[in-house]
Amino acid sequence: MSNIELQGLEFMGENFKDKLNYCGEGVRLYPLCKMIRAENAKLDNHAQIFDHVFIDAGKEFVLGKYSTLTWQVLIEGGARAIIGDRVFVGPGSKLLTSTYKINGFYTVEHLPTGCQDTDYGDIIIEDDAYIGANCTIMPGVTIGEGAVVGVNSFVRKNLEPWTVYMGNPCKAIGKREKPTDERMESIKSVDWSNHL
C-alpha cells in the first residue's frame, strides 16, 4: 500500500493505543474505531470501543473501567467528555461537547476569523449510567450515577441519579433500583480477560 492509502490508519484501532495519555489493562479497541487528539484520552481497565466509533478527545476524554462505546457512537466538539465506570453507550448515540453560535454568526467552519463562533460545554456521564441507542447528549450535561436514557432520547439538561428518562426532550418516567452491595461485590470476582 502507498503512504496515501495508509493515511489516517494511525488514528484507528490498536494504532492509536500508544498515543493515549493513559491506557489501562485489557482495553479493547476494535480495528475500525477512530480517535483524534488521543494524547488527551485516558482509557481505564477493560474499557472497550467498538468499530465505527469516532472520538475527538478534545480537551480531555476519559472512558472508565468496563465501560463500552458501541457501534456508530460519536463523541466530538473539542471540550471534555468524561465517562465513568460500567457505562454503556448504545449504537448511534452522539455526545456533542460544542454547538455553533447561531445568532450573528455563520454556522460553518473554515471561514475567516470572526465569521463563526462556538459554545463549548463538558459532558459528564457518571458511573453505571446506561445510554440507549440513537440518543443525543448536548454540551454541558451531567448524567447522574445509574441514570438510564431510553432509545432516541434528546438530553439537554442534567439527569438525576438512578432515574429512567425517555423522549425528546427526555423526561423522567421512573426510577431504577441500585445494585445491592452484594451484587457490587460480586463484580470484583469476574474474570474479564476473555470477555467480549
* In a domain? residue 102: yes
Find out whether 42 and 20 touch, Cβ atoms under 8 Å.
yes
Instruction: Report the chain's mean pLDDT, rounded to a whole number.
Output: 91
Give the residue numbers spanning the domain of 75: 20-176
Does the structure show a pLDDT above 80 at 3? Answer: no
CA 64/CA 47 separation, integer angstroms: 6
* In a domain? residue 158: yes
Does the structure show a pLDDT above 50 at 196? Answer: no
Question: Residues 7, 12, 13, 18: is their CA dihedral positive or negative?
Answer: positive
* In a domain? residue 119: yes
Q: State in Å, rounded, how far the first CA of the chain is from the last one.
A: 31
* In a domain? residue 182: no
* In a domain? residue 191: no
Domains identified in the chain, total number: 1
* In a domain? residue 24: yes
Q: What CATH code is carried by the domain that includes residue 145?
A: 2.160.10.10
* In a domain? residue 195: no
Task: Give the cell for residue 4.
Answer: 496515501
* In a domain? residue 125: yes
pTM for the model: 0.90
